[in-house]
Structure formats: C-alpha cells, structure tokens
Amino acid sequence: MALQNRLETLVAVFGGSGFLGRHVVRALAKCGYRVRVAVRRPELAGHLQPMGRVGQIHAVQANLRYPESVKAATRDADVVINLVGILFERGRQRFDAVMTAGAQTVAQAAKAVAAPLIHVSAIGADENSTSHYARAKAQAERLVLSAHDRAVIVRPSIIFGSEDDFFNRFAALARMSPALPLVGGGLTRMQPVFAGDVAEAIAKAVDGDLRPGATYELGGPDVRTFKELMQFVLATTQRRRVLIPVPFTLMKLQALVLQFLPKPPITPDQVELLKRDNIVSEDAKRDGRTLEGIGITPESIDAIVPTYLWRFRKTGQFNSHTA
C-alpha cells in the first residue's frame, strides 16, 4: 500500500493495549497508518501514543460485551484487527463471552462498515479439544468467517517478548522454587514465536499481502519440547533447579487449587492444552501460510529471550563468573 494511502487509512485495533497489542500498534504506526485503539479502559492506554506521531494513535472505549460500543469503535475504520483474548477465566471474563461471542461481534461490526478483518486466534484451536480455551478459539474462528468470509485468521504459537506470560512466568518460578514441573513429562512440543514477528505479519495483512479467508499459522524457527524450554530458562537465568516430571492427572489436581490465585501459574484448562503439541502444521507450511511463506524470517528465542530474562539472574545483567 502506498505511503499516502497508509496516511489516510484508519486501522481499528481491539485489544491494542495488551502484550501483543503494543507490538501491533508500534508496527502499524511505523508503517504510517492511523491507529484507533479500542479498549475497555482508554485512560490506561496512554503509553501507546509515543509509539507514533502526534495524533496518529488514539484510544477509544469499547467492550466486546456491548455491541454498540464495538460499532462506535469501528465507525469509519478502513481495517479492523481483533487481538482480544484471555488466558484464564475470572469473574465476568469468560472464554465464551470474550473470545467467542466477542469475536463474532467484532466481525459483524467490521462487515457492517465493509472493512477487512484480521482476527488473531491460536495454534491448537479445535472444537473437539478437551480444553475449553481451544474450543472457544475454534468456535470464534467459525463465527468470524461466517460473519465475514474474507477475514484473515492468524494463529500464533506461544508468543514471547519482554512482557510475555511464558518465559517470564517460569523464570520467576525458578527464582523462588527449588524445582520446576515438567507437565506430562515435558514431552509436549512447542514453537514459540516472537511478538514482533507476529505484529509484522499482521501489518502485512493490513497491507493486503495475506489471502482473505485464509488461516495463517505463525511459529518461530525452532521446535522444542517443554522440557527443553525449561532447560533453556534455567541456563539463561543461570540457575540450577531440579526438573520433576509430573503426570497430567497429578498436575491437573494441583492446578485445581492454583487456579484460584490472583494470577495462577497454571490452570486445569492449561494442563489440557499441554496434552497436544503447539506447532505449525504441515498443511500451513506446504501452502505458504507461515511467517517464512509471507517473507518474514522469524527471530529465535536464543536471540531475544536472554535480553529480558537476565533480570532473573542472581547477578542481573552481570556475568556470575566475573561479578
């Protein structure tokens, strides 16, 4: 898309103040788009404005449970992006309400203003899954495409970055605990993807470089088991901890208690998610519906994660052998 057209293009981003949202807003601003960030608490989204020029980024109030607020947020939008998602249920924040019904509401609003839609789902979305999260993601995809058949679906694997909820979570646990659990023996395979790469892919979708109606699966350059990722966390934070295999059944029993913590380290539903690999499918690779397929060379965890996990080391940014 030509620069002049980008300067005239308004992109409405639902969930733009979250972890992935910050990267997406930054990528869109860098491309020159005008960005309307639709969030529940716009007064808490001021940190996004310095990512662009004066007036380029602004926040508006929207709640996916209230269709009228969603319609107002998409008014005059040229492109709509839905990033809204939750990792666990709490209070009124339920998977079905936020990620399924909410996604349908955004899709209908985008269709009403004839705006292309980019909907962010997740690898592992499956209506037959034993995980409520995975079922809700899959149902959302179906409802989105039913309401807006030319929507682009983006399915990232586990997303990493300086504020991620995966590497930071286990690095913090390793700082306090003498052991780390290997859920299900730690054999589940994952393909962590850098938030900046996902944001770049979404920006390409806004440019029109991704096929309407297609589903893209985004993973990093390396496939590693859960055990290998825990070993990586320990090596990066320079800590020695025992890795204890925990059967899924026992881990789920522990998660039944842990889920009630303000920010649970794991929930029973997340245990169910860990029963299946979280990697890019062969079909997506074959069809070019991957980062590499759209011309993006993905960053590795080795290149990015140590730049922020150093704070969990005993000596911080200093080498323990020389400090």
> pLDDT of 117-151, one tens digit each?
999 999 999 999 999 999 999 999 999 999 999 99
Flag whether pLDDT at 4 surpasses 70: no
What is the spatial distance between Cα 143 and Cα 20, in angstroms, rounded to a whole number?
23
Domain ranges for the chain, please list them: 3-164+192-222+278-299
DSSP string, 81-124: EE----SS-BTTB-HIIIIIIHHHHHHHHHHHTT--EEEE--TT
pLDDT of residue 320: 55
Flag whether pLDDT at 322 surpasses 50: no
Local structure of residue 312 (DSSP, 8 states): G
Residue 188 neighbours by CB under 8 Å, 6+ apart? 225, 226, 274, 275, 276, 277, 278
Flag whether pLDDT at 274 surpasses 70: yes
Average pLDDT over residues 35-49: 92
Percent of the chain with pLDDT over 70: 97
DSSP string, 128-177: T-S-HHHHHHHHHHHHHHHH-TTPEEEEE-SEESTT-SSHHHHHHHHHH-
Evaluate whether 190 touches 229 at the Cβ level (below 8 Å): yes
- Residue 12 β-bridge partners: 36, 80
pLDDT of residue 78: 97
Start-to-end C-alpha separation, the chain: 51
Flag whether pLDDT at 102 surpasses 90: yes
Q: Report, at the CATH architecture level, how domain 3-164+192-222+278-299 is classified.
A: 3-Layer(aba) Sandwich (3.40)
Flag whether pLDDT at 2 surpasses 60: no
Percent of the chain with pLDDT over 90: 88
Evaluate whether 82 touches 117 at the Cβ level (below 8 Å): yes
Q: How confident is the model at residue 297 (pLDDT cuts 50, 70, 90)?
A: very high
Between 204 and 93, residue with greater pLDDT = 204
Flag whether pLDDT at 319 surpasses 70: no
